[in-house]
Amino acid sequence: MGIYKKLLIEIKLEILLYLMYNYLMKGCLKRLSGKEQLSFDEIREVVGKIANKEVSDAQIGAFIMGLTNKGVSKEEFYALAKSMRDYAIRVKSDKYIVDSCGTGADMSKSINISTTASIVANAAGANVIKQTNSSITSTCGSTDFLSALNIDINRTTEKALEFFNRNYITFVHSPYFNEFAKINNPIRQQLGIKSVFNYLGPLINASFPDAQLLGVSSNEMLEKTAYALQKLETDRALIVNGLNPNLDELSICSETRVLELKNGKIEEYIIKPEDFGFQRAELSEIQGGNGVDNARLITEIFNGKRKDAMKNVISMNAGAMIYLAGIKPTLYEGIKYAEKVIENGLAAKKLLSLQGKEAVNV
């Protein structure tokens, strides 16, 4: 076969595939506009096409908006999480891994609680692979915060594991470790609205963590998130929502609704700051600013210069991670231990170590 004839056949095949993908994508978008539920296979097909750059940015934006406006069922939410995980660039460890990550979009302007809690929990002995991202709907994303602290964000599996093997914690920036997120996130940023993908972000940590503290900024999405983690066979999880004001963390300001996944079963309960000896705070007391502002506030907490609501909310969330890691047998004991780790300077030493300023034995 001549080279030109072969090239012509390849071009025709590309055009045919494009038309087929375009037809399938349009079909899904039409069904979403009619508020119809998509099947697992349909969602897997669409996620694959997006990850493989086989659809246009306009179609991706329409897919995001269509799902968000329709609302997702728990089956669709699980299908999205499972399909997105198929495009993870894995960061594997034989350690028991814990992550703390919030969905964002709670509009609270709080300091970077989950990232700081991860450092405290690691100082307490938890193995942490923390997923990070730049700000999409918040003032300061976890990646922005870590950059201000001069802590490395890892861009490859090799670097992530090298950092983890030194520190038993590592930070993986989501778009570098998931082909779907790499394409999807810039379009989400352009849309600038809360979408279903805010809630999916914490479920695609490239380590597929054994345990997760997962903050959800929508009470309505709590059960769907717990269902997805259960179907994904996560070993342990606390899926939490601070109720009033709305927070994607264990809240120092109000009661927190908790769904706990353990031994394959989900239990629901409510906790409040007073359960752990803390006084309730106003939202303004835990609000931060940009990356530099938040880095300064956290450093002050670790150095003992702030003994306030910020320290307490970090202790609550770090304590939850310590509990999930199996270091302490109850949530209460985990939180009390997190307080001690901050107060005795271990968290400050760990921070210095992560900044490359001082070694620390944890």
In the structure, what pLDDT confidence band is assigned to residue 23 with cuts at 50, 70 and 90? low
Least confident of 13-22, 67-76, 129-138, 236-245: 13-22
> What is the Cα 113 distance to its own chain's centre?
12
Helix 291-302 and helix 309-324, axial crossing angle in degrees, nearest 10? 80
Helix 331-343 and helix 113-123, axial crossing angle in degrees, nearest 10? 80
CB 306 within 8 A of CB 283: no
Q: How far is CA 189 from CA 87, 114, 210, 229, 297, in A?
A: 20, 21, 29, 26, 27
- CA 204 to CA 103: how far, in whole Å? 12
pLDDT of residue 134: 67
pLDDT digits (tens, 9 = 90+) for 54-108: 888 888 888 888 998 899 999 999 999 999 999 999 999 999 999 999 886 666 7
Residue 12 has pLDDT above 50, yes or no: no
CB 13 within 8 A of CB 52: no
- CA 208 to CA 92: how far, in whole Å? 8
Q: Reduce the DSSP state of residue 233 to 3 states and report it.
A: coil
CATH of domain 3-71: 1.20.970
Question: What letter would DSSP give residue 344?
Answer: T
pLDDT average, residue stretch 228-236 = 98
Helix, strand, coil content of the chain in percent (nearest 5) = 55, 15, 35
pLDDT of residue 105: 61
Query: Which regions of the chain carry the CATH code 3.40.1030.10?
Result: 97-354
Q: What is the DSSP string of 144-174?
A: HHHHHTT-PPB-SHHHHHHHHHHHSEEEEEG
- CA 265 to CA 276: how far, in whole Å? 25
Least confident of 142-151, 154-163, 294-303, 308-317: 142-151
Least confident of 13-17, 103-107, 114-118, 192-196: 13-17
In the structure, what pLDDT confidence band is assigned to residue 8 with cuts at 50, 70 and 90? very low
**In the CATH scheme, what architecture does the domain 97-354 have?**
3-Layer(aba) Sandwich (3.40)
Question: Is 0.85 topped by the overall pTM?
Answer: yes
Q: What is the DSSP string of 296-311?
A: HHHHHHHTTS--SHHH
CA nearest 112: which of 124, 121, 100? Answer: 100
Q: How far is CA 303 from CA 125, 156, 299, 357, in A?
A: 19, 32, 6, 15
pLDDT of residue 22: 61
Q: Which two tokens stand for residue 97?
A: 């891994």
Residue given tokens 């938040």 in the structure block: 294
> What is the Cα 88 distance to its own chain's centre?
14
Q: Are strands 211-215 and 236-242 parallel, antiparallel or unpaired?
A: parallel
pLDDT digits (tens, 9 = 90+) for 284-323: 999 877 889 899 999 999 999 988 999 999 999 999 999 9
Percent of the chain whose pLDDT exceeds 70:
89
Residue 43 has pLDDT above 90, yes or no: yes
Residue 195 has pLDDT above 80, yes or no: yes
CB 142 within 8 A of CB 133: yes
Q: Which residues pair with 215 in a beta bridge?
A: 102, 240
CB 293 within 8 A of CB 331: no
Q: What is the greatest pairwise CA distance in the chain?
A: 80
- CA 239 to CA 258: how far, in whole Å? 6
Cα four-point dihedral sign 142, 144, 150, 152:
positive
Q: Reduce the DSSP state of residue 93 to 3 states and report it.
A: coil
In the structure, what pLDDT confidence band is assigned to residue 238 with cuts at 50, 70 and 90? very high
In the structure, what pLDDT confidence band is assigned to residue 140 with cuts at 50, 70 and 90? low
- Give the mean pLDDT of the chain: 88
Residue 89, number of CB atoms within 10 A of its CB: 14
Residue 350 has pLDDT above 70, yes or no: yes
Query: Which regions of the chain carry the CATH code 1.20.970?
Result: 3-71
pLDDT of residue 15: 38
Higher pLDDT, 288 or 168: 168
